[in-house]
Amino acid sequence: MKLKQLITEARNPASTHIDTMSTFNMVKIINAEDQKVAQAVAKQNESIALAIDQAAEKFAVGGRLIYIGAGTSGRLGVLDATELVPTYGIEPERAVGLIAGGKEALFTAVEGAEDSMILGINDLQKIKLTQDDIVIGIAASGRTPYVVGGLKYARKSHALTIAIACVPKSVIGQNADIAIEAVVGPEVITGSTRMKAGTAQKMILNTISTGIMIKQGKVYQNVMIDVQPTNEKLIDRASRIISETAAISLKEAQTYLRLADNNVAVAIVMAKTGKNKMEAAQLLTKYNCNVSAVLKNN
């Protein structure tokens, strides 16, 4: 399908005269169109859940989350990968963001980079892709050659492949194990896929990566227990998490955090079970770092 035929490139009749509208009406139209995004993403819930389940299994055995995209899509992938490290305490190498044109493309357009399937393959080869990895290809148009090439190579390498597009029957979807296609419709500004399409992609990426982290035991109840207390703000947050989930005072929580060498999960298990640091750590290892499972069985 030619670019001009894609729904992401169509003109939106609701915003045809946005250039002559009052600022208030301009904002109203953009907001009204944005409300369609969540509805489009919701139609993909089944595929998103499937992606989480299969990716969580790969991640649990040491696989990496690898995002590959160009332009806005690539930047969103890099953002999701980068934020997982401080949020869930994973090693930086476990979440990798690849963007057509490399780091320079995060800030400026690198002409022609997204049009090369070979570059997508090369970038995955450079990081030594394995069958345990998860490759998430992101392209609003669903046809970016850089992403298509990367997904084809990843599939041949037996990695899990997930495609995120904003058009139906996308090319990247046809080259992935799981296709997630949130059709958000024409943009307010024709072809500006950093708007609705970008929002949809970020929502989907947030859901997938959060789901994977939950499956790894990085969340207890609805709090982040692998937060890294590396500064005063995060130490305070960690202490409050322990206090609230273990139903103890903030002062007691701070003591447990120190005894647990700043490991929030260990501190919670210590506070809830009366175990010492070593015993709590052993229980977490036994139950795959799942605090709920530890507390249920001890």
Using only the alpha carbons of the chain, give its radius of gyration: 22
Secondary structure (DSSP) of 64-78: -EEEEESHHHHHHHH
Say if strands 160-165 and 134-138 run parallel, antiparallel, or are unpaired. parallel
Cβ-proximal residues to 38 (8 Å cutoff; 6+ apart), any chain: 203
57 noted as active-site residue: no
- What are the Cα distances from residue 39, in Å, to 14, 32, 43, 182, 298? 18, 12, 7, 9, 42
How far apart, in whole angstroms, are the C-alpha atoms of residue 137 and residue 262?
Answer: 36
91 noted as active-site residue: no
Within 10 Å of residue 125's Cβ, how many Cβ atoms? 12
DSSP 217: T
Catalytic residue chosen out of the listed positions 9, 57, 91, 114: 114
Distance between alpha carbon 273 and the CA centroid of its chain, in Å?
33
Among 37, 5, 47, 69, which Cα is nearest to 185's? 37
The two tokens of residue 274 are 């009366």
How far apart, in whole angstroms, are the C-alpha atoms of residue 160 and residue 164?
Answer: 13
Catalytic residue chosen out of the listed positions 9, 57, 83, 252: 83
Secondary structure (DSSP) of 137-191: EE-TTS--HHHHHHHHHHHHTT-EEEEEESSTT-HHHHTSSEEEE----S-SSTT
Residues assigned a catalytic role: 83, 114
